[in-house]
Amino acid sequence: MNTVETTLPFRNGDATVKRATSMFVLVESPGLTILWDSKTRLYITLMPQFVNRVRGLCGTFDFIQSNDYESRDGDISDFTFANSYKVRGECSDVGEEQFQPCMINSQNADYAKSKCEFLLSPAFKRCHRIVDPEMYYDMCEYDVCGCSNADDCLCSAIASYAKECSRNEVIIDWRFEDPVKNICAPKCEGSQIYSECSSPCAITCSELSSDQECTKTECIAGCNCPGNTVLDDSGNCVPPSECTCTYMGKVYSATQQIERSCQTCTCNGGQWDCLGEMCEQKTICPGNKVYSEFVSPCPLTCENVDNYQDCGASTFPGCTCPEDTALDMQTDSCVKPDQCPCRHNGKRYEAGAIIDKDCNVW
Ligand SMILES: [Ca+2]
């Protein structure tokens, strides 16, 4: 996120980013849904509040089809349009001749034709009258001819048609059919299984508590845990009742109990069920920490103070540093960010210490 590596699920204000299946990352924010296969397929769904406010490579969102290839400068031409949205200046512009990949790479043309014809085969018959495959066949040939990894592009091209079919409620299990099964059959980890129509709701133990309002019915292809099982932190598919819980970075198994803030808490379905009265914060927090109902498992510390991002993981009640202070992990105390010690060659230097090398004091 913004060049900082982070783990999923990630929350930032209204936006969430999570893994929907082994194949797709799902980004959700009010009025906007993005599904991305981490490669070449990106599905963006915008609600009407974005009409007349969004334009780019997917067109100008105004219900007028004729302006969808409009470049930044208002020209309407497919390659001028594509070049105008280039984000890296060092990439060379595309020209008209590059729009004929099967002419340029004629050695790929036969392969593309033989594999893409799968789209017109009986395997997809149920979908043919709902979604015309011709355009998808053309795009498939185009991609397979022009791609450096023809097989990757073949699977993506067929998956694009299958996705449009599943959007129209025709689910086709095509990945295990000839002639693509040796190329496109997915390998799922552990006991996960592949489905053309997986639900993106609560697929991991950690999402059980936050995903209760999930009402998505859209089919998303990929590997997920079968039936009512969910993925636990070790990558196993388990019933929700066997999900583990974490507290202060430690993992506890289902039904295990801990004492926390004078309460007895039991790990139940990946969440803590707590009984009893909570005690006063000042009696329980060590040093200069304070009690909070919403402690982040990835707090601001002296190590990350320069590029801190909240990881968005679920919070828990406990002790944390007061606002505007950072945790000094070595002394387990809270300090003003400018009082954080520096590190150089593995040695610790208190704030204000001077060494020859410039110390990154804030
Ligand atoms: Ca338009």
**pLDDT computed for residue 280 by the predictor:** 64
**Cα of 49 to ligand 1 centre, how many Å?**
15
**Cα of 67 to ligand 1 centre, how many Å?**
5
Beta bridge partners of 342: 349
Residues 6 or more apart whose Cβ sits within 8 Å of residue 211: 201, 202
pTM beyond 0.95: no
**pLDDT computed for residue 361 by the predictor:** 44
**Cα of 296 to ligand 1 centre, how many Å?**
43
**Cα of 81 to ligand 1 centre, how many Å?**
13
Type of residue numbered 326: A
**pLDDT computed for residue 49 by the predictor:** 94
**pLDDT computed for residue 203 by the predictor:** 81
**Cα of 33 to ligand 1 centre, how many Å?**
19
**Cα of 62 to ligand 1 centre, how many Å?**
5
**Cα of 164 to ligand 1 centre, how many Å?**
20
**Cα of 252 to ligand 1 centre, how many Å?**
53
| Three-state secondary-structure class, residue 228 | coil
Burial 239-261 (b: 16+ CB within 10 A, else e): ebebbbbbbeeeebebeeebebb
Q: Which residues in the chain come in under a pLDDT of 70?
A: 1, 96-99, 209-213, 215, 280-284, 343-349, 351-362
Neighbours of 87 (CB within 10 A): 5
**pLDDT computed for residue 228 by the predictor:** 86
**pLDDT computed for residue 345 by the predictor:** 56
Residue recorded with tokens 């969004």: 54
**Cα of 69 to ligand 1 centre, how many Å?**
8
**Cα of 220 to ligand 1 centre, how many Å?**
26
Type of residue numbered 239: P
**pLDDT computed for residue 24 by the predictor:** 94
**Cα of 63 to ligand 1 centre, how many Å?**
5
**pLDDT computed for residue 360 by the predictor:** 46
